[in-house]
Structure 1
Amino acid sequence: MRRAIIVSFLLLGSAANAQSDVCGMSSAFSQPDDGGKKSVAVWSDKSGKALLFADTMNINTDGTRRSYSVDDFWGEKTALNNLCNAMSDGCAGLTSDQLRTRRIATQQAKVNGWPAAQIAATKISPSIISFKNGKPCPEVDGYLVSATTLHKAGISNVCDILNYTDALAVPAIVLPKRASKGVATPFESRGAQIGDLVVTMSGDGKLIRYAVAGDMGPSKSLGEISLALAADLIGKTSSPANYLEVRGKKPYQGKGWHVGKTFTLIFPRTKNSAEPYMTRERIERDAAAAFQQWGGEKRLRACSAVYKPG
């Protein structure tokens, strides 16, 4: 019996070593996540042609036509996001009364034509909501224009929503922004940039989907994807009604856009500056080609078998 157990352990170790050899990746750095509450291991291959991490996924709605609405502040009707998520402080730590005050102040600022002092009080972030002449761009169909880091080349009008990466149409991931001005992120220092091609695989290994690095988010967070990519990974076939559905809140319990553990493989230096990857067709075609050249499903599955999150 003891000998059988020893043999089993040896066989398991041999299999793990074989998977590790096929993967050819190892831990490169640790990325803070959930506001710094935890960290996620990011792996790299020896040639620096790919970066890999696994994490549960949050939803990014930026760039879509109905992401944020001043009138539908909480996303209870048709807006796909809570306007607090477009504010520099995220409304963190506010009491219910303070949240109500923030909502009223924001709605009053809009009514008054966005005076500078009132805009400052709302804490709306120009890195999320497009600004022109010191004010949020004119609304489009009742929604604020939300920008994405990936956009068409040579933008002449920052208020044109068509310039940005539509979260409902384009499968995309979010990379962390710099924690300090002028200091590259660990992703950047390894060549990963907005616009690079990406492959994602569901935690159970059943689904492989292609994407692009389309936006930047908080420096101490990881694992955020567009609505389009989330739909690809969890099998949604129609757009969410509002933010309540995205979060699975009443009356949408059990219908939320919750994406579990997902393996994300980034191919650094694959962006196309002249013609950014902003259509599903081009993303899927070129990401699939890069994936096959790297080693394809066999290699990614081998990596998923030996990957250690921390």
Structure 2
Amino acid sequence: MSMPMIPGYIHDTFTNTLADDWPKPAAELPARLWPAQALYSISPDPMGWLTVEEQYFTPNEQGGKGCVLISPENHASALQDTSWIGRTLGNVGVWSDGTFVNGLTSADENLGSEFFVHARRPSGAILPVIEINLPFLWYWDAFPVTDGWSYLNRAGRNQDLIRYQVTDESWKVEVRALELRQFLASSNLSAVVQIDHTLKTDAEEFQRVDDELENDWAHLAFHALLDERPNWLFHPRLQRPARLQPDDLPLKICRLKRNELQKRGGVHKLRLERGLTKESLALEAGLSRNMVISLEWGNKSTAYDGCGI
């Protein structure tokens, strides 16, 4: 493939970001709790490196990102609310009624989406494995390199296409935004980047703050509230589009009755009812994402050992 021929590839292009469109909602909200830096990184016309898959957890922060592909005609439907889409992408399984799910496409809430990227931990793997949409790699005739993928540009030189960092408990996958945009234009697809971000920090007392932004290319929700434990604040869920409902948290898998776990799809149904992603449920329940996936497909032995059920 040739180098991307997108305006701004050679010449600087100044694009707006969510920081331009979404000011801090309440004067009494401590400034350090408003995710200004994260908002500056979100743009309808990204340049440079774009994070498309991420999971992180520290004593003060937790969250992640995901990316799925949709048809342009589904833009409005994808941004109707802030719930995650493409929940079953990247997971293969057979339901009790014989339905086979290949993990490449999804029709959550009648919104068709396609797999683009995820981190998966196969049985026996030491670290999570990063898997990428194959048509995207084929489009650029990409080849694997250490911690990523590259391709040959028009000048015959190696060009970075994808790079990632992976540890046992966290990962980050970035793609060159202009190459992704050229692929999307050629394949008549759009990418939806979905974000969860929660900050915990000491803070003086303040009234709960809830705010929401919706425009023609993004839909995000922000919630700031004091936790029931003194001096802790749960900062906001920043998503595009994705939401954690604070009133539903924490949802503990360990509290589910044995028959709910044994019923195939029981955990999946409960998670969807609460608007949680697999990653968010795993973080809140103190489990791994793979364990949540295992529970949703009916493999429940590990849950009993960990929860003492």
Coarse TM-score class (shorter-chain normalised): under 0.3
Question: Rg: which structure is higher?
Answer: 1
State the TM-score, normalized to the length of structure 1: 0.24
Higher strand share: 2
Which structure has more RCO (C-alpha within 8 Å, separation ≥ 6)?
1
Higher helix share: 1
State the TM-score, normalized to the length of structure 2: 0.24
